[in-house]
Amino acid sequence: MAAGATYTPLETQTLGANAASVTFSSISQSYTDLVLVCNSGQVTADTSYNLRVGASNTIDTGTNYSDTALNGNGSTASSYRNTSANRILPAGSNSSSISDNLIFHIQNYSNTTTYKTVLSRANVPGFRVVATVSLWRNTAAINTVQIYGGSNLLAGSTFTLYGIAAA
Amino acid sequence: MIGNAIAGLYGVGVTPSTTAYESIATTTVGSGGSSTITFSSIPSTFTHLQVRALYNFGSNANLRMQLNGVTNNTNLHYLTGDGSSASAGRDSAGNIISLQYGSSASYFYVQIMDILDYTSTNKYKVGRHLGGVDYNGSGGVYLGSSLYSTTSAISSISITSNNGQNFLQYSTFALYGIKGA
């Protein structure tokens, strides 16, 4: 019944210098879901992390994204929403050292029937923990993903993209 | 190896072994819809199971999961955010996902559901869930923990709604196995 090993590492980017963003392009369409695992920090603390996606190797910067989030900041549990935004917002805070962990599950990214939903967990020590469901209102297959911060991402931050193939 | 696999899924990004996580079976709902998604004859060669789902109902419904065909042995605790407030709840009615935000074409619910130590005959089975739906103005995100009061090894999984709703076309459920060391 098993169809074989999956959860394949597609690409890892480790920043040699501070950078504004990290982009994965020409992503194989051979998988079902993508998982982006980030260990990172930013030059300036407590700004944000942001994610964009796109098709045909063109990152969508239009207001085609939205989020619903569950957030804990160490004293209060809350929920917030972003609508018609120009990016996915998995976390509104970040550390100034490489101690943040974000994991994005980009579900059914290669289908051309449904809008694309992203589940993310953001673990930002000292600031917040967030679970978010996000939407890219486009039925196109995703082949490019970009993560960027409210300030530059720190040298040494790592970003690994995995592909999961269903049977 | 299993630590790497689980850490890679939910934790600190340690690269998982590509031999530890395998696709077992996938069901995609056709044009006629389907009331039940079933995975049967699940091999016992893994340590944990994961179901990754993209689904839609015609109207509001909760998700139910039966292990080995047994009903009424599920308890659930969950935490949700609806965009304005965080809330917590529990459910002993057999639901594993208590998340109802309507239905709309092109907007599908997503869930990642884990069943830990599914082959163990010494313990009840524990599930954990991450999921939600966003409609650009409504929707919710969901964290859940479920208990299945059975010490039997799990060989089948059946997924349905709680109210007879069919899964709509393009709903997809993929079952994966995660190996231990």
Which residue in the set B10, B23, B141 is minimally distant from A166, CB to CB?
A: B23
Low-confidence ranges of chain A (pLDDT < 50): 1-2
Q: Is residue B29 within 8 angstroms of chain A, CB to CB?
A: no
* B35-58: average pLDDT: 95
- Please state, rounded to an integer, the average pLDDT across all residues of chain B: 87
Cβ separation A108–B107 shorter than 8 A: no
Q: What pLDDT digit, counting tens, does each position of B77-120 carry? A: 999 999 999 999 998 877 777 777 777 878 899 999 999 999 99
Residue B7 to residues A41, A78, B22, B26, B60, Cα–Cα distance (Å): 19, 26, 16, 24, 34
Number of Cα atoms under 13 Å in the Cβ half of residue A51: 32
* pLDDT (0 to 100) of residue B72: 67
B110 vs B65: CA distance, rounded Å: 15
Could you report the per-residue pLDDT of B3-12, keeping only the tens digit for each?
Answer: 334 434 443 3
Query: A78: which chain B residues are within 8 Å (Cβ-Cβ)?
Result: 81, 85-86
Cα separation values, A59 from A15, A25, A90, A143, B143, Å = 20, 9, 17, 9, 30
Q: Does A17 touch chain B (CB under 8 A)?
A: no
Q: What is the pLDDT of residue B11?
A: 39
Angstrom CA distances, B151 to A43, B68, B70, B120, B125, stand at 50, 11, 12, 7, 7
CA gap A102, A123 in Å, rounded: 6
Looking at beta carbons, which residues of chain A come within 8 Å of B38?
Answer: none
**Cβ contact (<8 Å) for A107 and B15?**
no
The confidence score (pLDDT) of residue B3 equals 36
**Test the A interface: residue of B27, B78, B136 with most A CBs within 10 Å:** B136
Neighbour-count burial for B96-112, b at 16+ CB within 10 Å, e otherwise:
bbbbbbebeeebbbbbb
Helix (H) or strand (E) segment spanning residue B4: helix B2-10
Contact (CB, 8 A) for A164 and A7? yes
At B61, the pLDDT band (50, 70, 90 cuts) reads: confident
pLDDT of residue B19: 77
- Whether A73 and chain B come into contact, CB under 8 Å, resolves to no
pLDDT reading at B168 higher than 70 = yes
B139 interface with A at CB cutoff 8 Å: yes
Q: Which residue has the higher pLDDT, B20 or A3?
A: B20
The alpha carbon of B140 is separated from its chain's Cα centroid by a whole number of angstroms, namely 16
| Whole-angstrom distance, CA of residue B33 vs CA of residue B35 | 7
Q: What percent of chain B has pLDDT over 90?
A: 65
**What is the Cα A11 distance to its own chain's centre?**
14
- CB contact, 8 Å: B31 with chain A? no
Chain pair A-B, CB pairs under 8 angstroms: 183
Contact A5 B21 (CB under 8 A): yes
Percent of chain B past pLDDT 70, that is, above it, reads 90
Of A146, A8, A138, the C-alpha closest to B8 is A8
State the pLDDT at residue A3. 59
Nearest to B26 among A5, A137, A167 (CB): A167
Contact A166 B136 (CB under 8 A): no
Chain B closest-CA separation from residue A73 CA (Å): 12
CB contact under 8 A, B136 and A164: no
Q: pLDDT confidence of B23, banded at 50, 70, 90? A: very high
Say what the pTM is. 0.92
pLDDT in the model for residue B127:
93
Chain A residues within an 8 Å CB radius of B133: 117, 133
DSSP for residue B107: B
Name, in order, each residue with C-beta under 8 angstroms of B75's C-beta and a sequence gap of 6 or more.
B90, B91, B92, B146, B147, B149
Determine the residue type at B40. S
| Per-residue pLDDT, B6 | 40
